């Protein structure tokens, strides 16, 4: 089988590429940048990297024509982008998805779309089943542009489903592991890890009581692969994650315990990190029953185990591979 993965050189995409290569499939990764995360795959005879964008309909049409299955993972992710460049977030996540769906529909290709737990916003009634309400803040708070863009993209996916396109929407919950982000940039684990490795205090935003369910990459990838293969997944929206809830303060404490060294915790106010255009999500927990039932996958890796492996990877020689080749 030939699998097209948009965003194939990103964090999830690079791991998904490895998983399909390990199955014996062919992979075409389409990505606009950040080749470092797939540098180790570039010589593989069943792997091809196409450096282009989902904003280019011609390339999508050509690649969709030759693929048997499409994963649409390309998107702009990371709170620093939501508050710095909401235009890019909205444009790529909404228009890029439309471009992809048009090409997939024309060629009749099955699609798996990567959405996010962020679409639930700050709905206080956790855990969230896939049909839970979306509770977002005002449009004047840039942070919500990501949730809005992904929800709009989901609507497009479901509209194409009505036209007969076989499609699955996955909502990922704080997936982490090797190659997550550059140290100090992006998601909380990458930021805290940079501080930990330098022995600096770990910056916990607010009082650290906000929670996330950190999902080990290999668990998320098993669910993602199944979503493209299991026929019962067609037409479904599925949470992908663990329901083990961890406060950010507990995350920081665990990282210090596992990583060792002199780091302590420093509590910092929201506004000092992200400015005024940021609101936090107090609790984020998935209902994972559908994932278990349809995809037959459970995210069982304990946070302590996944963190130990992540810290070891970033400490090791591979740390350089997390830095993008093109700045």
C-beta separation of 70 from 100 below 8 A: yes
Nearer to ligand UDP, 174 or 215 (CB): 174
Take residue 80 and report the two structure tokens written for it: 């620093």
> What is the C-alpha separation between 18 and 204, in angstroms, rounded?
33
Nearer to ligand UDP, 118 or 154 (CB): 118
Nearest distance from residue 111's CB to ligand UDP, in Å? 24
> What is the C-alpha separation between 218 and 213, in angstroms, rounded?
15
> What is the C-alpha separation between 100 and 102, in angstroms, rounded?
5
Nearer to ligand UDP, 108 or 261 (CB): 261
C-beta separation of 304 from 312 below 8 A: no
Nearer to ligand UDP, 206 or 235 (CB): 206
> What is the C-alpha separation between 140 and 150, in angstroms, rounded?
17
> What is the C-alpha separation between 151 and 156, in angstroms, rounded?
9
CB count within 10 Å of CB 91 equals 14
Nearest distance from residue 71's CB to ligand UDP, in Å? 21
| Residues with a known catalytic role | 146
- Report cis status (omega within 30 of 0) of the bond before 303: no
Ramachandran area for residue 63 (φ above 0: left; ψ -120 to 50: alpha; else beta): alpha
Nearest distance from residue 230's CB to ligand UDP, in Å? 27
Nearest distance from residue 130's CB to ligand UDP, in Å? 18
Contact positions vs ligand UDP (CB under 6 A): 79, 118, 174, 187-188, 191, 203-205, 210, 212, 248, 280-281
Nearer to ligand UDP, 80 or 234 (CB): 80
Query: Which residues fall within 8 angstroms of residue 274, CB to CB, at 6 or more apart?
Result: 79, 80, 83, 143
Nearest distance from residue 188's CB to ligand UDP, in Å? 3
């Amino acid at each position: 089988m030939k699998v097209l993965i948009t965003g194939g050189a990103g964090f999830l995409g690079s791991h998904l590429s490895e998983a399909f290569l390990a199955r014996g499939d062919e992979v075409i990764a389409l990505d606009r940048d950040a080749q470092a995360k797939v540098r180790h795959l570039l010589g593989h005879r069943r792997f091809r990297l196409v450096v282009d964008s989902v904003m280019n309909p011609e390339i999508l049409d050509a690649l969709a024509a030759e693929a048997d299955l499409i994963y649409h993972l390309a998107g702009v992710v990371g709170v620093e982008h939501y508050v710095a460049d909401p235009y890019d977030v909205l444009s790529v996540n909404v228009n890029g998805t439309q471009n992809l769906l048009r090409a997939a529909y024309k060629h009749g290709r099955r699609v798996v779309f990567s959405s996010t737990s962020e679409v639930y916003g700050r709905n206080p009634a956790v855990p969230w089943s896939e049909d839970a309400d979306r509770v977002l803040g005002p449009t004047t708070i840039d942070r919500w542009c990501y949730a809005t863009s992904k929800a709009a993209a989901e609507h497009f996916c479901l509209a194409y489903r009505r036209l007969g396109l076989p499609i699955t929407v996955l909502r990922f919950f704080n997936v982490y592991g090797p190659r997550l982000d550059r140290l100090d940039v992006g998601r909380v684990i990458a930021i805290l890890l940079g501080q930990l490795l330098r022995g600096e205090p770990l910056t916990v935003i607010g009082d650290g009581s906000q929670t996330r369910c950190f999902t080990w990459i290999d668990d998320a990838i098993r669910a993602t692969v199944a979503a493209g293969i299991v026929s019962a997944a067609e037409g479904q929206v599925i949470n992908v994650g663990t329901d083990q809830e961890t406060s950010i303060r507990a995350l920081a404490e665990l990282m210090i315990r596992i990583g060792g060294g002199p780091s302590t915790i420093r509590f910092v106010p929201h506004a000092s990190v992200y400015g005024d255009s940021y609101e936090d999500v107090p609790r984020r927990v998935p209902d994972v029953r559908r994932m278990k039932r349809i995809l037959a996958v459970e995210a069982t890796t304990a946070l302590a185990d996944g963190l130990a492996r992540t810290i070891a990877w970033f400490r090791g020689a591979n740390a350089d591979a997390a830095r993008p080749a093109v700045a």
